Amino acid sequence: MRAKLPLIVFVLLIALCPLFLGEFHLTLLNYIGLSAMVALGLVVLTGVGGLTSFGQAAFVGLGSYTTAYLTTAFDVSPWATLPLGLLLTGVVALGLGLITLRLSGHYLPMGTIAWGLALYYLFGNLDFLGGHTGLPGIPPMSLFGWRLSTSGQIHYLIWPLLLAAMAATQNLLNSREGRAIRALKGGSLMAESMGVNTGRSKIIVFVLAALLAGLSGWIYAHMQRFVNPTPFGLHIGIEYLFMAVVGGIGHVWGAVVGAGVITVLKQWLQDWLPKILGQSGNFEIIVFGIMMVMVLQHARSGIWPSLRRWWPLPPRHRGLDAVGQPLPQRPLPPPGSPLLSLRGVTKTFGGLVACKDIDLELRAGEILALIGPNGAGKSTLFNLISGVLPLTSGRVDFLGERIDLLEAREIAGRGLSRTFQHAHLLPSMSVLENVAIGAHLRGRKGVLAASLHLERREEGQLLGEARRQLERVGLGALADLDAGSLALGQQRIMEIARSLCAAPCLLLLDEPAAGLRHMEKQSLAELLKGLRTEGLGILLVEHDMDFVMNLADRILVMEFGEKIAEGLPEVIQNDPRVLEAYLGGVE
Amino acid sequence: MDLQIALLLSQDGIVNGAVYALLALALVLVFTVTRVIFIPQGEFVAYGALTMASLQAGKAPGTIWLLLAMGCLVTLVDLFFALRWGERRHILRSLLWNLFLPLGIVALVHFVPVAIMPMPMHILLTLAIVVPMGPMLYRLAFLPLAESSVLVLLVVAVAVHFVLVGLGLFLFGPEGSRTPAFTDAVFNLGLLYLTSQSLWVMICSLGLILALERFFHGNIYGKALRATAMNRTGARLLGIAPTSAGKLAFALASLIGAFSGVLVAPITTIYYDTGFLIGLKGFVGAIVGGMVNYPLAAAGAIIVGLLESFASFWASAFKEVIVFTLIIPVLLWRSLRSHHTEDQE
């Protein structure tokens, strides 16, 4: 209750303000609501997903012009144009997303600047859209025969829609799809290795942000009753981004705060600056620009986090863990059956041969250790097997199927799961949520179900599985901490829990014991032995010889990208080439 | 369309394309050295052109006050760091560039009758006023964030663009300006009339491109810039200061921008916000070149110029739409050639 109090007060204020605010302030509040809707999309896109768009105003324009044209030219009901406008916005966003999102970081924002301008000029030059003078005479909306024409009436359309959109966004971010979206910023490689289709997640957030902009545009057209190209230009698109950044780009409420601050400030500056400077013009952009640079230099997380500090909340607890049935397990192949086979695997980087002609066999219920001096090509081999890097030549078979041409996520879907030499985790997410990313492919429910929280049963199962695996590796007590606060050794163990969440039949562990204390190493060894008994195959890179010799069934030794020995631990310990590689030759 | 019109349009396209090419080079240069996608590049074009116009009209251009204000800010910031962290080594140099130089320029414009100066002096003075703003901008807006992601730097660049456009309106007002051509000769080559200003544009931009090429390959500073572009940390370990490299890159960018402004001002009327579109067209050219390759970026910019010129003949209302939509097939082509997942910062 205490946690919800500010929200309740806010909603009550919003609900009651038409009773005590005048027309001018209500209109301002409506503009804030409409801008916040667009900024909300940018929060998800930029703050959470790490992608940026300067062209959101063009999407607002698509929504606006669709309804403006259809309602004025063909007398269509505004309610019928809403799905059409959203469809058009969504299709355009999908197309642009498919083109630009696969490219590295900065192409998307550069692309958005270009098509933001292109759409703006298009609106201004199409005769049926009224050119630069615009389209007047758009009918007001009506709801059950009740016309929404005054600001006070439209207020009751905008704000409930905005609050609903915020709740849906919040729900989405706390779900399986949401974790995939949150992994886009700094965790794409890991997410792909856990089976997440990051390209799809990017498209989802991009289209989502565009749809929120389109919705805002639809209301705008019927509130203003007139559209022209000006409010859909690139500069307005940039202002939307400023709103999100100033308010707090990582937070849903940052969109509302930012929209409020910038809209009110703009109003105020437009009144005062021309008087101070003695000229007329859009001088507020000078202030906005300077403000933006200051915010990015000195307070990157925006206003919202500092506001939140006034109302401290108890640590989050999700009452969802371990609800319902455990997830179905993947049937493991019988112990002793072939799991993984490498034939002549070779990888070159320019002239450097990182792996040369590696052959390897691994059976279910077996632990194979890969050892060798630093730079021998062990981690490269891991990346080749798990599909992170393409092979130069050779082939890899997993469960009797050729996998070296597949994407990392497709390989993960076939039951191969891995950890990384340098832990790849999302520091601001809880340990539990990080681990639950491993179970991504074991859930089915999509974005819509997540936004409406209709997937709570499955979500409970996924988080329950994550908690079970955390307890199994001995980190159960740390589940609710931020993953970034774990010690390095614990981060590696957390990665093991994450890969176990995928219910794999083959585990690739890259130096799991590094950074662990003696007792922790022993319990790790016990855990891995237990997994072996269950029938998992484990391929392990490790430098701790005691750990390897006591655990591994067989050992493969690499040096300078080549396999120099393979066999039982006792044999390897006495192999002259291995001794030479590790201890230097005897002259 | 007959041959004469086609030739005329091509000439127009190549002349504009030459300017876009210069700007594309500056964008690539700044991006590779500092990872900043320098959206405000075009504002230097407008500042250059409008400063030149003010000088020729015998007025003191507003930009001298902006230069002085920015210089004072940089001086304050540098002094603050010098006092707080004892970084005193460069303080004299900083004072010279950021305080005394702007003061000197303000004094020069006020005490020397600028109206009677010959045109080359106007050009030099324009460059002296506008070019130092580049490194100052880097010091104030970008250096404190030098280690941030490309995305953050891009948002800062966009914010700086806002500030400069707003200031441009304040300093020069909403009216546009056009300056007299460098020389008035017109050459008649059969079907083609060639104004000497077009020639100036092509010659100067080709000359600048070649000079840049020489600078990058035949000079230790150029090599240092290229090294910083390839690997900041590595360059630092070898004794190259990324800060100086950044300032140098921004100085070159503002030089190219301001000079382009001086070049095009006799051809088209320049308003306080014209630079943005010119800069963005250079930017489309740079994207065609993938933001790293100079010859490709220059070629891309020429294509943009030609496209624009022919588009203005066939569908003049949709000229901008066509130019900015060009980026989409280009991005598509680039996306079809890249196949990997990478972690973004």
A346 and A404 Cβ atoms separated by less than 8 Å? no
Cβ distance B320 to A118 less than 8 Å, yes or no, reads yes
Cβ distance A117 to B280 less than 8 Å, yes or no, reads yes
Q: Phi/psi of residue A567, each to 5°?
A: 165, -165
pLDDT at res. B141: 95
CATH architecture of the region A338-415+504-583: 3-Layer(aba) Sandwich (3.40)
Domain locations along chain A:
5-308, 338-415+504-583, 430-491
DSSP type of residue A402? E
pLDDT at res. A502: 92
Q: Is A103 left (phi over 0), alpha (psi -120 to 50) or beta?
A: beta
The reply to whether A338-415+504-583 shares the fold of A5-308 is no
Nearest CA in chain A to B330: A99
User: For chain A, give me the number of helices (H) and strands (E)?
Assistant: 23, 12
Predicted confidence band of residue B345 (pLDDT cuts 50, 70, 90): very low
Cβ distance B343 to A189 less than 8 Å, yes or no, reads yes
Angle of helix B220-230 relative to helix B242-264, nearest 10 degrees, comes to 110
In a domain, B131, yes or no: yes
Buried b (16+ CB within 10 A) or exposed e, B89-115: eeeeebbebbbebbeebbeebeeeebe
The answer to whether B73 contacts chain A (CB < 8 Å) is: no
CA A235 centroid distance within chain: 27
CA dihedral of A304, A110, B272, B203, whole degrees rounded to 10: 150
In a domain, B250, yes or no: yes
For residue B210, give both structure tokens: 């070649």
Nearest CA in chain B to A273: B170
pLDDT at res. A320: 57
Span of A432-441, A491-500, B186-195 with lowest mean pLDDT? B186-195
Q: Dump pLDDT digits (tens) for B214-262.
A: 887 777 877 887 787 777 778 888 888 878 888 999 999 999 999 999 9
pLDDT at position A587 over 60 = no
Q: What is the mean pLDDT of residues B76-95?
A: 82
Instruction: Compute the 3-state secondary structure of chain A and give helix, strand, coil in percent, each to the nearest 5.
Output: 60, 10, 30
Nearest CA in chain B to A127: B317
Q: Look at residues A105, A286, A237 and name the one whose alpha carbon lies nearest to residue B40.
A: A286
Predicted confidence band of residue B20 (pLDDT cuts 50, 70, 90): very high
In a domain, B103, yes or no: yes
For residue B152, give both structure tokens: 């953050």
Cross-strand pairs, A509: A540
Of 2.60.120, 3.40.50, 1.10.3470, 1.20.120, which CATH number belongs to A5-308? 1.10.3470
Tell me how far apart the alpha carbons of residues B26 and B289 are, in angstroms, rounded to a whole number: 13
Instruction: State how far residue A256 is from chain B, nearest Cα, in angstroms.
Output: 20
- The SS3 of residue A8 is helix
pLDDT at res. A247: 93
- CB-hemisphere CA count at 13 Å for B218? 6
pLDDT at position B340 over 80 = no
pLDDT at res. A324: 63
Instruction: Compute the 3-state secondary structure of chain B and give helix, strand, coil in percent, each to the nearest 5.
Output: 75, 5, 20
Question: Residue A347: how many CB atoms within 10 A of its CB?
Answer: 22
Q: Look at residues A333, A325, A497 and name the one whose alpha carbon lies nearest to residue A414.
A: A333
Tell me how far apart the alpha carbons of residues A483 and A428 are, in angstroms, rounded to a whole number: 7
Of the residues A102, A279, A383, the best mutation for testing chain B's interface (the one with the most B CB atoms within 10 Å of its CB) is A102
Span of A13-27, A210-224, A527-541, B322-336 with lowest mean pLDDT? B322-336
Percent of chain B with pLDDT over 70: 95
Predicted confidence band of residue B213 (pLDDT cuts 50, 70, 90): confident
The answer to whether B150 contacts chain A (CB < 8 Å) is: yes
- Among A99, A125, A282, the residue with its CB nearest the CB of B166 is A282
Instruction: State how far residue A33 is from chain B, nearest Cα, in angstroms.
Output: 23
For residue A467, give both structure tokens: 């908690």
Cβ distance A290 to B161 less than 8 Å, yes or no, reads no
Contacts of A96 in chain B (CB under 8 A): 328
Contacts of A46 in chain B (CB under 8 A): 151
pLDDT at res. A307: 86
Domain limits at B151?
Answer: 3-337
Q: What is the mean pLDDT of residues A80-109?
A: 86
Angle of helix B242-264 relative to helix B274-288, nearest 10 degrees, comes to 120
Mean pLDDT over each residue of chain B, to the nearest integer? 86
DSSP type of residue A483? G
Q: What is the mean pLDDT of residues B89-112?
A: 87
pLDDT at position B9 over 80 = yes
Contacts of A410 in chain B (CB under 8 A): none
In a domain, B42, yes or no: yes
Q: Phi/psi of residue A370, each to 5°?
A: -110, 115
Number of domains in chain B: 1
Q: How far, in Å, are A496, A546, B31 from residue A381 at the CA level?
A: 19, 23, 34
pLDDT at position A560 over 60 = yes
Question: How far is it between the farthest Cα atoms of chain B?
Answer: 69
